[in-house]
Chain A
Amino acid sequence: MAFLRLESITKRFPGCLAVDRLDLDADEGDFVVLLGPSGCGKTTTLRIIAGLEIQTDGQVILGGRDISDVPPERRDMAMVFQNLALYPHMTVFDNIAFYLRNIRRPKDEIRDRVAKAANRVQIGELLDRYPDQLSGGQRQRVALARALVRSPKVFLLDEPLAALDAKLRAGMRSEFKLLHKSLVEEAGGVSGTFIYVTHDQVEALTLGTRIAVMNEGRIAQIASPSDLYRRPRNIFTATFVGSPEMNLLEGKLQRANGDAVFRFRNLEVDAGAKGLAALGRAKEETIPAIMGIRPESIHLVRGETLKALDAEIVTLELLGQSNLLMLKIDDLPLTCLANPDIALRENERIAVRFEAESMHFFDPKTEESLLVDEE
């Protein structure tokens, strides 16, 4: 049984269902990211785990014990709040030491543990300062140290990087990753569980060992970062994860001469092995489908190539490592990432090819993937 388990958690607020029968398992050493747009219930879920909110239904189970009725101060969980909530009237030292004092640890133990936690996040020299004398990044570290000093069973992090500017955020992100790695290594895999809430997919993909994509109170998909990106289970995950967003085309998947083709408008593209698999699974010759293809899987082809599609470049944005193209194929808008070495102009007509191995197929009604799930 998993270390931390949410069983059918439901939270209803007056006039709104925030969390809807949510199940989640997390093991010790796991770094689980709850990823989703604002208002999807991810912060509510975190607060229910912490005990700051009482669920309408379902259980929170920690180490085999139902803790649904245990007040937050006795759950042994540490939380880093979105606004950090550093006590402004306490020094950095007192902030970090507060928990240890509350559980009445001896003075020298407190001193050692605070020093260790502070050094771990490189704020050893700031212990005498007050929070309002610190920079944003330093405050971030203090909040982290406050959680680390406890070695809690569960670390809860609610958008901890949201308040930082883009540059600092990238730096802290990699530090989080290193920190988690070293904690797990030191503890031999039995360190606390991390639950991390964010709406930023880059944070989710870089930090999480497992990512739970949430939408309207439910988990749309829970998977490793690479699976999430390569094998989205539904349209929500497919479009929410990945930037620029995945292109979606509505049409039909058909068998033709033993191969699969995807027809949309009066155009046709090769659907490859994935198309065949979807057809095989449905046991039909032709099925309605939504085809999804990521911008980087649309390739420009020079000259007349077989099965290439005719497209027009509407706009062109230079992103540095690649060019972002807004294309129009028969009036359908598509985005495409192109090699910056290819010289292109706006309004130029070009030929493009869809990479068949990178296509995704979804049922237009249920919006679920038509491919066999590999889990």
Chain B
Amino acid sequence: MIFNTISGRRRAKKILVLLVSIVVLLYLLAPIYWVVVSSFQKEIALQDRPPHYFPSAEVFTTNHYYFIFTGVIPPNSTIMLQSMYTMRGTLVYPAIINSIIIASIVTIINVVVGFPAAHIFARYRFFGDRKVFLLLLATRLLPSISIVVAMYILLLRLDLLDTKLALVGIYSAITLPFTIWILRAYFHNIPVEFEEAARLDGCRYIRMMTKVVVPLARPGLIAAAIFAFMASYGEFVFATILTQTIRSQTQTAVLASLSQGMSTSRGMIAAAATLSILPPLLLAIVFRKHILEGLTARLGL
């Protein structure tokens, strides 16, 4: 029997691992592949049965992107398609820009405000430290849908509905506890002696932070910044309820409303989705090491 020898078992295991890997990769990548491929297909081709899994040159088009970026219906498109390009599609690009702006500001706030706070929680014992930290953790568990109603009413009164400012504030509040949480865990893995050495080398707080702590904690800081960015970039509940116009709408809000239109061009929706996922995917791939380390940092393993 194949399983009774070491080499036989090894071969059987190799085949099994290969098969399972293919299934897993297909499951993970096929949806993304399909949306990207769809975004480059002619609307009419998208209706073909069976679908063009590997599209040929004759179904290829960049019209959907052309419309999203210019708002001009491509002259070579069919009458049917012309009616399917809603002007909402042109909001996709500004919405992505909104998302990037909001997420960037939130990220900066997390770095400037959350990083030193995490350092304080990791290194100092002070009045009420545990209680305040638990309070921070508790806010992590609160479902956003639970406060969005109250938030809506409050922002309505403050006349802050449909502003980027409101989203920046909310996203900062949501992401800061997480940032503080993982960075605190990260600091626990950095020997405190570096900071003590810096002290004895004549550094006061600010100089110690900039010259020693930040360089040492950089991988963790990058991971925390990316988490903050991705969380703000992809947030949906607040974005869709607290925004109304492109003044503040983020890509998730625009995309969700775009996909609600029954007769909207499917190709254009696919193109919009492809554009939306581009920034976080690029970040994820470029900083994959930081993300993987950061995700598991707070396990304390």
Contacts and interface: CB of A to CB of B under 8 A. Distances in A.
B200 A87 contact: no
B199 A85 contact: no
Interface string B253-265: 0000000000000
B215 A102 contact: no
Contacts of B197: 79, 81, 85, 87
A68 B188 CA distance: 28
A240 B193 CA distance: 29
Given A83-B193, A88-B216, A78 B200 contact: yes
B196 A72 contact: yes
B196 A73 contact: no
Nearest to B215: A89
Contacts of B196: 50, 52, 72, 79, 81, 85
B204 interface: yes
A337 interface: no
B203 A73 contact: yes
B202 interface: yes
Contact of B207 (A75, A81, A87, A102): A102
Interface string B190-231: 010110111111111001000110011000000000000000
A50 B200 contact: yes
A72 B199 contact: yes
A71 B202 CA distance: 10
A103 B202 contact: yes
B216 A85 contact: no
A98 interface: yes
Contacts of A81: 193, 196-197
A50 B201 CA distance: 11
Nearest to A52: B196
Given A87-B212, A88-B216, A89-B216, A99 B202 contact: yes
B268 to A, nearest CB: 48
Interface residues of B, number: 17
Contacts of A72: 196, 199-200
A52 B199 contact: yes
Interface residues of A, number: 23
A79 B202 CA distance: 12
B193 A73 contact: no
A77 interface: yes
B227 to A, nearest CB: 23
Interface in A43-98: 50-52, 71-75, 77-79, 81-83, 85, 87-89, 98
B130 to A, nearest CB: 14
Contacts of B211: 98
Contacts of B199: 51-52, 71-73
B202 A85 contact: no
B126 to A, nearest CB: 14
Nearest to A98: B201
A103 B200 CA distance: 12
B77 to A, nearest CB: 56
B203 A85 contact: no
Contacts of A82: 193
A52 B198 CA distance: 11
B177 to A, nearest CB: 28
Nearest to B201: A99
A73 B200 contact: yes
Contacts of A103: 202
Contacts of B201: 73, 98-99, 102, 146
Nearest to B212: A87
A85 B204 contact: no
A81 B198 CA distance: 12
Given A87-B194, A102-B207, A77 B202 contact: no
Contacts of A83: 191, 193
Contacts of B203: 73, 102
Interface string B180-191: 000000000001
A85 B193 contact: yes
Interface of A: 50-52, 71-75, 77-79, 81-83, 85, 87-89, 98-99, 102-103, 146
Given A85-B191, A88-B216, 18 more contacts: A50-B196, A50-B200, A52-B199, A52-B200, A71-B199, A72-B196, A73-B201, A73-B204, A79-B196, A79-B197, A82-B193, A85-B193, A87-B194, A87-B215, A87-B216, A89-B215, A98-B201, A99-B202
24 contacts: A51-B199, A52-B196, A52-B199, A71-B199, A73-B204, A75-B200, A77-B200, A79-B197, A81-B193, A81-B197, A82-B193, A85-B191, A85-B193, A85-B194, A87-B197, A87-B198, A87-B215, A88-B216, A89-B215, A89-B216, A98-B211, A99-B201, A102-B201, A102-B203
- Kindly list the 5 A-B residue pairs having the minimum CB-CB distance in the complex, ordered from nearest: A85-B193, A102-B202, A89-B215, A85-B197, A99-B201
